[in-house]
Chains A and B, each alone.
Chain A
Amino acid sequence: MDCYTANWNPLGDSAFYRKYELYSMDWDLKEELRDCLVAAAPYGGPIGLQSAPSCWTVLCQDRVAHILLAVGPDLYLLDHAACSAVTPPGLAPGVSSFLQMAVSFTYRHLALFTDTGYIWMGTASLKEKLCEFNCNIRAPPKQMVWCSRPRSKERAVVVAWERRLMVVGDAPESIQFVLDEDSYLVPELDGVRIFSRSTHEFLHEVPAASEEIFKIASMAPGALLLEAQKEYEKESQKADEYLREIQELGQLTQAVQQCIEAAGHEHQPDMQKSLLRAASFGKCFLDRFPPDSFVHMCQDLRVLNAVRDYHIGIPLTYSQYKQLTIQVLLDRLVLRRLYPLAIQICEYLRLPEVQGVSRILAHWACYKVQQKDVSDEDVARAINQKLGDTPGVSYSDIAARAYGCGRTELAIKLLEYEPRSGEQVPLLLKMKRSKLALSKAIESGDTDLVFTVLLHLKNELNRGDFFMTLRNQPMALSLYRQFCKHQELETLKDLYNQDDNHQELGSFHIRASYAAEERIEGRVAALQTAADAFYKAKNEFAAKATEDQMRLLRLQRRLEDELGGQFLDLSLHDTVTTLILGGHNKRAEQLARDFRIPDKRLWWLKLTALADLEDWEELEKFSKSKKSPIGYLPFVEICMKQHNKYEAKKYASRVGPEQKVKALLLVGDVAQAADVAIEHRNEAELSLVLSHCTGATDGATADKIQRARAQAQKK
């Protein structure tokens, strides 16, 4: 136990690795391991070891991969868990080893070549034999591949030796070709490509449509139509005969379709043309032939001929092209940097810009930014000239690529072209252009984006620089202030300090005096700081008001101590009122003097308070203490509000002449009001009184006013 860590090997500072034996074992093998094929399954699964197989291949069934391997006369099927011996059904006897095996393009079929020169062809499941062939050549073939086409029933295998090529299928004979050079076979979806040093060929089963048309003496509608068209060009009347023949059989539609399809399978443009011409000719005699298939075939062939050109060298067949799709073809062109051709194809096929031209231009631009020998300006300009504001092009993606290549300046230049400022921000941040990112974020109007940048900046810059940056960006500043107000009060204070914003600093401390401080001393101290700030801000008013508040607070404190009751945080007005209501008139007077409460306010205050107390005696005394600065109408009003008509009448008599009518009306003395109004000869007052004349009781008064009015008019 003491040497437990002896087999630990350190790697770096913090990790160890160790290797230990699971169990000891010995292989029962004559060969060396290097001559064997090893297959092992994961998760501690079995290990298969065979003397090097004569041949093997991968089978794929139901989305599971198997390995078929041949060892001597035996075939084994390996999967992730097991190895089992298999025997193909109907295999000729006498096989001592398998020399070649081939799986078809679709993984459905399997061909086996034995040392007896015998070829077995069957399903890849090894459940069914399709056919067999004996070629009597015992030499091991160099290559063997399937040659089939989708939807065709024919099965054939191409076998290649040094100088011989043989196509065998379900037939007693085989096709043989002589190979002049070393050749190699490439199985394809619909045939086999054969290339050597000097040639590149394609071997495939002739498609049905072509066969129908071109078979010797064929009377298929397509063949007749092709013939008809040829005769028509020769201006021969035979054209009409052929056409009639097709039409009589009602096969014109079929004929046209055949010609179109066959055109697709032809490699030579001349042949494509004559077949399409025939189709076009036949179409003229059809009422309702949908044009799509013809148009698309023309377009597809145009594209195919373009990429088949030896400069490009993509010898796609029509079937392969359809399987591959245009998008993949374009991708391949882009990968080969054949941008102009790709763009021409997009434009020719009128692909939507986002999938087509824009995508290719974006790829081009991404390649362009890697050209290190061209200056940033030139690259940026070239890209912008080509791309303009093509929809679907993301300048920020291109810029990201430029940055990835280490060209930060170019990236920034490219970002300038990005119309959506929001898109520019993440990359700018990545490039550590945070200030630029901030202005771009602000431009975008997305406050979340601004906030993201702000936090970035906050971590990146020191506090002083961060605040300076904010100072130049009011929108960001107010956003950050809002955040601080709720989350980081101290930072808010620092922000105001930095800006010498003493006004806001003062408000800040006032707010603090309410929020944070409970004790009166603390509150007063906070208010003092606020007052100082207001002085610095040259806001004398606020400073004085704050000092008054401090004074009031202290005083209210004292009042609470001495008199009991609730005084803290009452307004000055309410403090005085409370004092009067509590009967502390002296104190109230004193307070009013100390805080220089204006007379008018004091009178209103006392009047209301005394009326609330219903201390009519005191009120009367007060009213006579000196001449009222608010007149005596308020006395009438307040008494009436307390429903004391008796008291109200007392004051009504003291109301000055210009308000007399109002006062009399308030106490309900309409008749006297009328008299006064008449005496004043005031039209407005007269109508006011008149509007108060209701019912029969005031009838006489109303008449009186009318008479007075009439008299006034006479004069």
Chain B
Amino acid sequence: MAFPHRPDAPELPDFSMLKRLARDQLIYLLEQLPGKKDLFIEADLMSPLDRIANVSILKQHEVDKLYKVENKPALSSNEQLCFLVRPRIKNMRYIASLVNADKLAGRTRKYKVIFSPQKFYACEMVLEEEGIYGDVSCDEWAFSLLPLDVDLLSMELPEFFRDYFLEGDQRWINTVAQALHLLSTLYGPFPNCYGIGRCAKMAYELWRNLEEEEDGETKGRRPEIGHIFLLDRDVDFVTALCSQVVYEGLVDDTFRIKCGSVDFGPEVTSSDKSLKVLLNAEDKVFNEIRNEHFSNVFGFLSQKARNLQAQYDRRRGMDIKQMKNFVSQELKGLKQEHRLLSLHIGACESIMKKKTKQDFQELIKTEHALLEGFNIRESTSYIEEHIDRQVSPIESLRLMCLLSITENGLIPKDYRSLKTQYLQSYGPEHLLTFSNLRRAGLLTEQAPGDTLTAVESKVSKLVTDKAAGKITDAFSSLAKRSNFRAISKKLNLIPRVDGEYDLKVPRDMAYVFGGAYVPLSCRIIEQVLERRSWQGLDEVVRLLNCSDFAFTDMTKEDKASSESLRLILVVFLGGCTFSEISALRFLGREKVRCWRRSP
């Protein structure tokens, strides 16, 4: 990616290495089962697998038929079956049912289970309990990092958030540590590490242990990545709860970007077919608008369309030779660009249609009011109306959570009435949803009589208790107060704007939310990197309830001038939004180069 602002932007490491590594390993595993075999793939793994090895590569290694792992009896007649799955118990039961059915029918086949990214003891246990442990062979495909773009890696672990932040299950932390270890072996050691959050700290420490056990390997290598920043998703729920208004974010909110690609339906492609489109820096049109505020996108696209037309029009005055040149050299590129352009215009129209239907402006206005903390009553009734009108179950929840977090929990009356309304609108099963949201700290109730100051003093007491090591419960989030208001003031998250915020020429990261709010996560990253430590941010860290979980680790010799040190790896533990990615790209353009990853 070229950045006009910074001609000296440091070069990005070659992440395609990760792909090659994963592919070679997979081929090796497939070859371990010589001869023809049918491959059963878990639905979740299909898209990531597709980015690593396509069907023809699989066929080359004697994969005969491909099946999806689903709750249906398998029709495969092959003598060898290979399962490529996530380490989930339900998959084990599926495999067990298949093997046991074969046994009943007196049939013997070879079975191989490949776990990605690693196998868990619990899975082997289930295989044993189902009585088939001896019948299958197990292997691991350590494919933990998928490069989605030149500057974006993903672990493709959607259950990470639920497992860790809701259930307190720490099994994936080791996987994160392994992934970090892989990165440091491939791209040299990270000279500077920062992090915030309990999970971040655990992952960091596990990773350090791994490095120590195999020390010497990365020593003396030139680091390609200067800084690494680990951040727990629960440090900043607010940003993830805001409606996205940069183009890539909107595409995600509207069509769901999965594994770096999106399915555009007939309403976008203006044909009767859906189209799967890869969204990355290689799509030149997309690359220019992905980080733009939506209001700029239409203008840009129409300008682009005019340019394109002009280029097409050039052929009018051409003689035969020029025409030949044009057709052989430029036409293909133009046609490609034309195709992309019409796709994105289609997507824009579709987004517009959907958003106007839902009174998007009103929604954004309410969100901004919540972020700034005024007209709370009005916002609450807006949310109520939103629920009453059944606009969208997920959006209603999002607004409720946003209200809860910005206000340190809902007041008991609202907490009850909004929940009641919600259950009436969207169904009583959401009682479980609310119980989960409460456990995750996303939708909570203010303790009666808790004024803001009372809460704060309570929190500070909590924090001192923590320092004494009294809190050992994994669900400390229950006791967490978000303190968003105070943090927002401290970090200046709501920019003061005189007159209109010019979204065409953004001056800070707030542009990703229409100039109304600087994403908290990105602001923390910016502040820490500026200071090269948490110094001076003690109060913020305290308000984030992370006093014990903010850390810095710098190498002694700080070669600040070194080119590579400008590269930063930001790791979001629990996922990140495209708005945050856009904000960090903005930060990278303005200050240093960033890239990031989300599990």
The stretch of A110-118, A406-414, A477-485 in contact with B is A477-485
Of the candidates A486, A514, A541, A604, the one whose C-beta lies within 8 Å of that of B419 is: A541
Residues of A within 8 A of B122 (CB): 451, 483, 487
Inter-chain contact A571/B424, CB cutoff 8 Å: yes
In whole Å, how far is B435's beta carbon from the nearest beta carbon of chain A? 5
Q: Which residue of B lies closest to A503 (CB)?
A: B435
- For residue A148, CB closer than 8 A to chain B, the reply is no
The stretch of A245-253, A320-328, A542-550, A696-704 in contact with B is A542-550
Residues of A within 8 A of B169 (CB): 447, 478-479, 482
- A628–B484 CA distance with the chains assembled, in angstroms: 37
Q: A474 with B389: in contact, given A573-B424, A601-B424 (CB under 8 Å)?
A: no
- A446–B120 CA distance with the chains assembled, in angstroms: 10
The A-B contact count (CB < 8 A) is: 115
- A452–B120 CA distance with the chains assembled, in angstroms: 10
Residues of B within 8 A of A483 (CB): 89, 122, 125
What are the interface flags for B427-448 relative to A under an 8 Å C-beta threshold, 1 for contact and 0 otherwise? 1110110010000000000000
- A283–B421 CA distance with the chains assembled, in angstroms: 98
Inter-chain contact A549/B428, CB cutoff 8 Å: yes
The stretch of B4-12, B48-56, B170-178, B262-270 in contact with A is B170-178
- For residue B453, CB closer than 8 A to chain A, the reply is no
Of the candidates B170, B389, B416, B429, the one whose C-beta lies within 8 Å of that of A475 is: B170
Residues of A within 8 A of B421 (CB): 598, 601
Inter-chain contact B209/A475, CB cutoff 8 Å: no
The stretch of B33-41, B305-313, B371-379, B471-479 in contact with A is B471-479
Inter-chain contact B170/A447, CB cutoff 8 Å: yes
- For residue A608, CB closer than 8 A to chain B, the reply is yes
- For residue A429, CB closer than 8 A to chain B, the reply is no
Residues of B within 8 A of A572 (CB): 423-425, 428
Inter-chain contact B431/A542, CB cutoff 8 Å: yes
- For residue B129, CB closer than 8 A to chain A, the reply is yes
Inter-chain contact A569/B427, CB cutoff 8 Å: yes
Q: Which residue of B lies closest to A571 (CB)?
A: B427
Inter-chain contact A452/B121, CB cutoff 8 Å: yes
- For residue B501, CB closer than 8 A to chain A, the reply is no
Residues of B within 8 A of A541 (CB): 416, 419
Inter-chain contact A445/B202, CB cutoff 8 Å: yes
Inter-chain contact A479/B170, CB cutoff 8 Å: yes
Inter-chain contact B473/A474, CB cutoff 8 Å: yes
Residues of B within 8 A of A689 (CB): none
Residues of A within 8 A of B126 (CB): 487
- For residue A178, CB closer than 8 A to chain B, the reply is no
Q: Which residue of A lies closest to B426 (CB)?
A: A571
Residues of B within 8 A of A219 (CB): none
What are the interface flags for B281-310 relative to A under an 8 Å C-beta threshold, 1 for contact and 0 otherwise? 000000000000000000000000000000
- For residue B553, CB closer than 8 A to chain A, the reply is no
Q: A486 with B389: in contact, given A451-B125, A545-B431, A571-B423 (CB under 8 Å)?
A: no
Inter-chain contact A608/B389, CB cutoff 8 Å: yes
Q: Which residue of B lies closest to A482 (CB)?
A: B169
- For residue A177, CB closer than 8 A to chain B, the reply is no
The interface on chain B, measured as residues whose beta carbon lies within 8 A of the other chain's beta carbons, has a size of: 46
Q: Which residue of B lies closest to A479 (CB)?
A: B169
Inter-chain contact B419/A487, CB cutoff 8 Å: no
- For residue B90, CB closer than 8 A to chain A, the reply is yes
Residues of B within 8 A of A574 (CB): 427
Within 8 A of A (CB), among B325-353: none
Q: Which residue of B lies closest to A576 (CB)?
A: B424
In whole Å, how far is A470's beta carbon from the nearest beta carbon of chain B? 12
Of the candidates B428, B431, B475, the one whose C-beta lies within 8 Å of that of A474 is: B475
In whole Å, how far is B1's beta carbon from the nearest beta carbon of chain A? 36
Residues of A within 8 A of B389 (CB): 604, 608
- For residue A511, CB closer than 8 A to chain B, the reply is yes
What are the interface flags for A426-449 relative to B under an 8 Å C-beta threshold, 1 for contact and 0 otherwise? 000000000000000000011110
What are the interface flags for A588-629 relative to B under an 8 Å C-beta threshold, 1 for contact and 0 otherwise? 000000010110110011001000000000000000000000
- A532–B555 CA distance with the chains assembled, in angstroms: 58
Q: A478 with B431: in contact, given A445-B206, A448-B120, A601-B388 (CB under 8 Å)?
A: no
- For residue A507, CB closer than 8 A to chain B, the reply is yes
Q: A445 with B431: in contact, given A571-B423, A595-B424, A600-B388 (CB under 8 Å)?
A: no
Q: For A503, A507, A595, A630, which residue has the most chain B Cβ atoms within 10 angstroms?
A: A507
- For residue A510, CB closer than 8 A to chain B, the reply is yes
Residues of B within 8 A of A573 (CB): 390, 424-426
In whole Å, how far is A543's beta carbon from the nearest beta carbon of chain B? 10
Q: A445 with B170: in contact, given A478-B474, A552-B428, A604-B388 (CB under 8 Å)?
A: yes
Inter-chain contact B427/A570, CB cutoff 8 Å: yes
- A47–B482 CA distance with the chains assembled, in angstroms: 90
- For residue B168, CB closer than 8 A to chain A, the reply is yes
Q: Which residue of B lies closest to A572 (CB)?
A: B424
- A598–B389 CA distance with the chains assembled, in angstroms: 13
| Beyond known contacts A446-B174, A483-B89: 5 more, CB 8 A cutoff | A420-B213, A447-B170, A448-B121, A572-B424, A573-B424
12 inter-chain pairs at a CB distance below 8 angstroms, sorted by A residue, are A447-B120, A447-B169, A447-B174, A448-B171, A451-B122, A455-B125, A478-B474, A482-B169, A510-B432, A571-B424, A595-B424, A600-B388
